[in-house]
Structures are given as structure tokens and as C-alpha cells.
Structure 1
Amino acid sequence: MTAENQLRKHIEEVVHLTDEEYRFVLSHFLIENYRKNDFLIRSGDKTTQCYYVVYGLLKLVLEDEDGKQHIASFAMEDWWESDFSAFFSGNRAKLSLQCIEDSKVFVISLKNYNKLAAGLPKMEHFFLKKSHSGHIALQNRVLSFLTSNATERYEQLLKQHPVLFQRVPKTLLASYLGVSRETLSRLSS
């Protein structure tokens, strides 16, 4: 499946588009390729772009004052990612977005995001649905940290996204789960 067809299929899980509407949608995006370890966003930079992953795997990271990385999220095929706070507010990024694998992404700027939403109400509805889904996922992640122990968080991630365990190094999974590498090894044995 081509990247363009994949994006259309993804959008049409929420709203139906005519061919003309989809050409209009595509005119607001760029498509870019990144290599493993490339940064799409660096903490401290202005962030005016949001990314839809065609293929590959990304990590959204907060680096603390001691240089320790805290994984906020992973993004793989059919996922959207950015430092959304910076994207929508125009502030500098607090998070970095980096490739774990070679990746192909569609890129939309905030300007084009707003133009697309204003020019095609179906896409405004699509973006709203995606925003709701992202908000719910983030809220569930926070609740998981507040109410679940490490074993329960591990089992929940394994159930929801088993493919991550084949694609993500254990040190990154441990960071995402809020445990040490050693604890993750015990949980996975």
C-alpha cells in the first residue's frame, strides 16, 4: 500500500473523503523519511509540526536535568505524534521526538493543520476524534501510574501493544514503564 493510500485509509476510519477532498487533504502535508536516531523535534526548539507515522517507530522523550531520559510515548504505524503542547501553543518544545527505527512520516504544520480544518470540516472532525483518543490514552497512562504496580503496567502494555516488545529495546521499555532495566527483566521472565 502506498503512503498516500495508508493515510487515506486511516482518515476514512473516521470520515469518508471524495477523491477531490483527499487531494485537498494531501496538499497540506509533506512526506519525509528519517533514519534511526534522527530527531524530528529537539527539546528547546520551536515546534510547528505534527507527524503521522507511515512506517517506523518514534519515541517522545523528556530528558531531566541529570540527563536521564523519560519515555512519554512511542509512536508506530498509524499513530500521530508531536510535542502537542508546543505544537498548539507556539512555545518551545519540552520533549524530543526521535526515531527508534528508520521511519517515513507525513508532516503537517500548524498553519496547514488550521487551514485544513477550516477548509474541510470533515478533517476538523477527524482531528477532534484523534485528539480525544490521544487525551483518553494519556489519561489512562497517568491513571495507570497512579493506581497500578509495575507488574500490572507491564501486563497492560503487553496486552495493548505486544509488538513494542519486539521492536523497542528493553531500556526504553523500562523507562516507559517507570522501572529499572533489572525490574523489567524480572517482569518479563
Structure 2
Amino acid sequence: MNHILRNHIQKTILLSDHEWEKVSAFFEEEHFSKKDFIIQENDKVDSIYFIVSGLIKLSCSDQEGREHIISFAMEDWWETDFMAFYNQTKANQILQCLEDTEVLKLSFKNYHQLLKEVPKMTEFFLSKAVKGHISNQRRILSLMTLSAKERYEQFIKYYPSLAQRIPKITLAAYFGLSRETLSRFFKESK
């Protein structure tokens, strides 16, 4: 599992074998089954997760109990309730597995120790944060300027393999559509 993380990191920064030994020591393997919760609302969020295999969704619930899907994450992606992680507050988001999932977990304490011991990792995590920020801005702009069909087409363009793995009812909820409307978009785009 660690070689997958090393390959992922090496796409952004180069690490010597000695640096990699230090880096890998900070991570812990964890396995979850489909439908398991990694984070639930009001949990203390002490870790960020690198997805080795599987698929997860990040969501929140409104006061009426309706679920709002914020994002999905699959292999080679990072996910957590970042606001709660960085501020060390309780979660207001939910992280749930859509498939059996294997992760490498990095605790808040280990994250900061890692940055001290291997300063290059600051550059790595900054790069990941910027890419995540750009992706979130793209999503916000699409919500403000595109129709539901255009948002769906944009999602398919940027994440074709991801769209095939997400259950249609969950994908419809992500776009705020009925499953029937999403199915119609799917047929039209073929």
C-alpha cells in the first residue's frame, strides 16, 4: 500500500529513500466496508485520508435532515472534513464509503511532525490544497452559471471513470436531480 502513496507523492515532489522512510512512518493503514462511516457529524476530526482503493463521499445534512453531497473521492485522492481537521473542531460533514475502501491515515499530530521532519512535504500539501481549491471553485462556478445538464456534462468531462462508479441515485443527489432526469441526461450524452 505504501508504494501507491510514494508514487502519488513523487508526481509532485521527489523524495530520497531516507526521506520516504520518514514519510511512510507517519501513516497508518485502515480498511472500511461499503456504507461504513469514516467521519460522522460531531466527531473529532483527527486525520486526513489518502484513498488507496475504493470510493467515498463527503456530505452534510441540513436542518430538515436532507443530505447534500459536497464531493466524491477515489483512488489517489485525499479527503476529510478539512475545516474540522485544520481547526481541530467537531465535524459538520460526513465521510462515508460507497465501496469497500482502503486508506492511509495521517493524524493531525503526525501531519505537523511530518512537515517538520520532511520540509519538502509542505510543498506537496500546498500543491494538493491549491488543486483542491481550484476544483471547488470550478464546482461553485458551475452551480452559479450552468444548468443541471451542463453541470452533469462537465462532471463527465472531468471525471469520466468516477461517474461510472457512483450509484445513479447518489449521482442524481449530487446534482440535485431526480434519478429519472439524470438517466435522461445519461442517455442523451451517449
**TM-score, structure 2 as length reference:** 0.96
Corresponding residue of 2:147:
149
Distance 1:164 1:18 in 2: 32
Task: Please point out which of 116, 122, 125 is paired with 2:123.
Answer: 125
Give CA deviations for 1:4-26 in whole Å, capped at 9, x if unaligned.
11100000001101111111001
Alignment partner, residue 103 of structure 2: 105
d(CA) in 1 for partners of 2:17, 2:174: 40
Query: C-alpha distance in 1, partners of 2:131/2:108?
Result: 19
Per-residue deviation, 1:69? 1.2
Shift of 1:76: 0.2
Q: Supply the distance in 2 between the matched residues of 1:134 and 1:165 (Cα, whole angstroms).
A: 18
**CA positional deviation for 1:127:** 0.5
Quick one: distance in 2 between partners of 1:97 and 1:56?
13
- My pick for the range that moved more, 159-168 or 50-59, is 159-168
Distance 1:135 1:38 in 2: 27
Alignment of 1:15-54 (within 5 A): 15-54=13-52
How much has 1:52 moved relative to structure 2? 0.3
Aligned residue in 1 for 2:156? 158
Partner of residue 114 from structure 1, selected from 108, 112, 115:
112
1:24-47: CA deviations, max 9, x gaps? 001111011110011110011110
**One-letter amino acid matched to 1:142:** I
Superimposed CA distance per residue, residues 55-84 of structure 1 (whole angstroms, 9 cap, x where no aligned partner): 000000111222221110000000000000
For structure 2, the residue ranges without an aligned partner over 5 or more in a row are: none
TM-score normalised by length of structure 1 = 0.96
Q: Percent identity, aligned pairs only?
A: 48
SS in 2 for 1:25: helix
Count of residues in Structure 1 that have an aligned counterpart in Structure 2: 187
- 2-structure distance, mates of 1:118, 1:182: 51
Deviations 1:104-155 (A, max 9, x none): 0000011111111121111011011001111111111101100111111010
Task: Give the C-alpha shift of residue 169 in structure 1.
Answer: 0.7
Structure 2 counterpart of 1:105, one-letter code:
V
Specify every segment of 5 or more residues in structure 1 that has no aligned partner in the other structure, as ranges.
Answer: none
Q: 2 CA distance for matches of 1:55 and 1:86?
A: 24
Residue type of the partner of 1:20?
Answer: H
CA distance in 2 between partners of 1:174 and 1:186 (Å): 11
The alignment yields a C-alpha RMSD, in angstroms, of 0.9
Note if 1:167 corresponds to 2:155. Answer: no
Q: Please report how far the alpha carbon of residue 188 of structure 1 lies from its aligned counterpart in structure 2 after TM superposition.
A: 1.3
